[in-house]
Structures are given as C-alpha cells and as structure tokens.
C-alpha cells in the first residue's frame, strides 16, 4: 500500500491524543467495545471451533469495527482460560485494525520492578496501546508504565461499581474525596498525552467534578448499558474540546444475541450507540 494512503497512526503505529480525536471525528463515535468474552456466554455453535473465544471476538470485531474507536479486551476473561487464553488474547489484539485504539483492561500495579514487567508484557510482548492501572500503590507502581514511549496508562480514578464508595469517596480532613487526590497527584506522573482516567458512567454529575480537575485528559468510561449509566450525562458532564471520552460497552454489545446472529446483533447495538454519540458530538463539541 502506498505511504500516502495510510493514516498518521498506521504510519507511526501509535496513537496520539490528536490522532484519537481525529478517529473520533472521522467515525462520529467515541465507542469502545469491551471484549469480555465469556466461554459460558458465547453462542453454543462456536464451542466446536478450535478456539471458540477467538472466533467469537473475530466476528464481534469484524461487525463492529465501523463504529468503534477502541477495543477493550478484559484480560480476566482470557487469563481464566489458562495458557491458551494468552495466545487467544495475542491473536485478538493482532486482529484489531491499526487505527483503532487498544486497551488491555488488566488493572495492574505493583512495586516498581514488577510493574516494569507488567508493562513489558502488555506493551512489548503484546503491543497494546494502553493498559488500565490501579493507583493505590502510588508513584513507583504507576510510573514504570508511563516510561514506555507512545503508550498510555489508564488510571482507575472513580470506578463504576458500588464498592467504589468504600475508598474512592472517603473524604480527608479538608473534605476532599480520595479520588480527587488520585487525580491531582497523578498529574505529577503523566500528561494528557500519555495518561487517561477510568471514570464510571454510573457516577453522573461527579463526572463533571472530575472534568474540572483534569480538563484535558481522556476518560475511559465504563458503566453504560448493563450497569445502567447514562450516555447523555457522560457527554454532558465529561465532554471536552477534543471529546475526551471513550465510552465502553461490553455485555450490551457482545451478548446482544446468544444465537448465530450474534455478530449482526452486536453490529446493530454498536451502530445504535454510535448514532447517539454522533448526536452528542454535534450537541457538545
Ligand atoms: O470502573 C470500572 C472499571 C472497569 N470496568 C470494566 O468495564 C467493563 C464493563 O462491562 P459492561 O458489560 O459494559 O458493564 C468490564 O470489563 C469491567 O470490568 C467497569 O465496569 N467499571
């Protein structure tokens, strides 16, 4: 293929913030399709295939790629398959078109030398664009991921689950919730060019509070669809001048049908969400 035919991301093989925004504009979409590929939930007819999870993810990717700007394999679903799961994950990641942002949803983070090897696993061995990282072991557990050039860390800030209230919303003596301290402190470690935050869609107007603290960073927003978060609220409170949002839906898309038409059903769901996102981009950008 001649060089002039390729996009910036394809030539450089990494995704800058500007390139991500350009993909969002091109597709009128900020949809991230979550690959939570559960062997117990995929359609029965795939189970006779040599690698059922690969076959499932392949069809989901082929059917939804027109509407997605990111894919997020949830690493637990692959790890749970044992050594074969890692091979499947590698093959799935290689299948994702180069101009689409890839997220290893692994929620890692450990003492420095261990984090370095987690980063090597996801960035070098598997060439993901980004990995989700837990912040609670502090700077030395996060910065090894940020040392990889042209890669992204997506730090858990305000998660979508009920348990997020146990720690993240606890206030210090000045009334500042812990998630805000995470946002403030982590800005010493990375920039909007290599650091994003996980902000749950179920947190409504708190997304606006997060946006005030980190105006320029992208958010990975899980929790629409199966968890009941509102896409409208996410856009209203979270969108910035470069969109700044990757909104994930996993079960709502990939299990839209449990039958042979699962790929087409996933495509319909992705298309529906993309349509809503297009309207929101027109409204808020
Ligand atoms: O706060 C968080 C962080 C990560 N997740 C992950 O996102 C998807 C959500 O799946 P749905 O089926 O769309 O609910 C899943 O992989 C979670 O592990 C999250 O939900 N909340």
So what's the ipTM on this one? 0.99
- What pLDDT does residue 7 have? 54
130 DSSP β-pair partners: 103, 152
Q: Give the residue from 40, 130, 125 showing the smallest Cα distance to 80.
A: 40
Helix (H, G, I), strand (E, B) or coil at 210: helix
By 3-state DSSP, what share of the chain in percent is helix, strand and coil, each rounded to 5?
A: 50, 15, 35
Q: What is the CATH number of the domain that holds 65?
A: 3.20.20.70
Q: Could you tell me the two tokens for 90?
A: 């590698």
Whether pLDDT at 196 is above 60: yes
Residue nearest to atom 19 of ligand 1 (CA): 222
Active-site pick, 58, 91, 98, 107: 107
Centre of ligand 1 from the C-alpha of residue 227, in Å: 8
- What pLDDT does residue 153 have? 98
Strands 130-133 and 31-35: unpaired
Which numbered atom of ligand 1 lies nearest the CA of 225? 13
CB 204 within 8 A of CB 230: yes
Q: Could you tell me the two tokens for 100?
A: 């689409």
C-beta atoms surrounding 26 within 10 Å: 11
Whether pLDDT at 6 is above 80: no
Boundaries of domain holding 42: 3-284
Q: Number of structural domains, the chain?
A: 1
Whether pLDDT at 4 is above 80: no
Distances (CA, A) of 115 to 143, 173, 275: 8, 31, 39
CB 209 within 8 A of CB 182: no
If one residue of 250, 251, 256 were mutated to test the ligand 1 pocket, choosing by the most ligand atoms within 8 A of its CB, it would be: 250
Q: How many CA atoms lie within 13 A of 202 on its CB side?
A: 15
Centre of ligand 1 from the C-alpha of residue 249, in Å: 8
Instruction: Please confirm, yes or no, whether 264 is among the known catalytic residues.
Output: no
Residues whose CB is less than 8 angstroms from the CB of residue 276 and which lie 6 or more positions away in sequence, other chains included: 231
Whether pLDDT at 1 is above 50: no
Q: What is the CA radius of gyration of the chain?
A: 18
* pTM summary value: 0.96
């Amino acid at each position: 293929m001649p060089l002039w035919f390729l996009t910036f991301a394809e030539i450089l093989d990494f995704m800058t913030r500007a390139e991500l925004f350009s993909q969002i504009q091109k597709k009128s979409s900020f949809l991230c399709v979550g690959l939570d590929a559960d062997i117990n939930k995929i359609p029965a007819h795939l189970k006779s295939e040599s690698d059922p999870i690969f076959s499932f993810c392949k069809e989901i990717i082929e059917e939804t790629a027109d509407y997605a700007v990111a894919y997020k394999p949830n690493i637990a679903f692959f790890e749970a398959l044992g050594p074969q799961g890692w091979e499947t994950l590698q093959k799935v990641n290689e299948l994702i078109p180069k101009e689409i942002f890839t997220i290893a949803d692994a929620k890692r983070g450990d003492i420095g030398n261990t984090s370095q090897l987690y980063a090597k696993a996801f960035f070098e061995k598997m060439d993901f664009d980004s990995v989700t990282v837990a912040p609670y072991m502090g700077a030395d557990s996060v910065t090894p991921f940020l040392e990889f050039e042209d890669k992204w860390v997506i730090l858990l800030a305000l998660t979508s689950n009920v348990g997020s209230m146990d720690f993240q919303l606890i206030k210090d003596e000045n009334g500042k919730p812990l998630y805000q301290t995470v946002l403030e402190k982590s800005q010493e470690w990375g920039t909007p060019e290599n650091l994003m935050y996980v902000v749950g869609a179920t947190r409504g107007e708190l997304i606006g509070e997060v946006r005030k603290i980190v105006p320029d960073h992208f958010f990975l927003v899980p929790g629409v669809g199966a968890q009941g978060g509102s896409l409208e609220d996410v856009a209203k409170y979270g969108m910035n001048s470069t969109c700044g949002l990757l909104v994930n839906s996993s079960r709502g898309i990939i299990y839209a049908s449990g039958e042979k038409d699962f790929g087409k059903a996933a495509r319909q769901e992705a298309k529906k969400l993309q349509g809503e996102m297009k309207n929101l981009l027109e409204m808020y950008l």
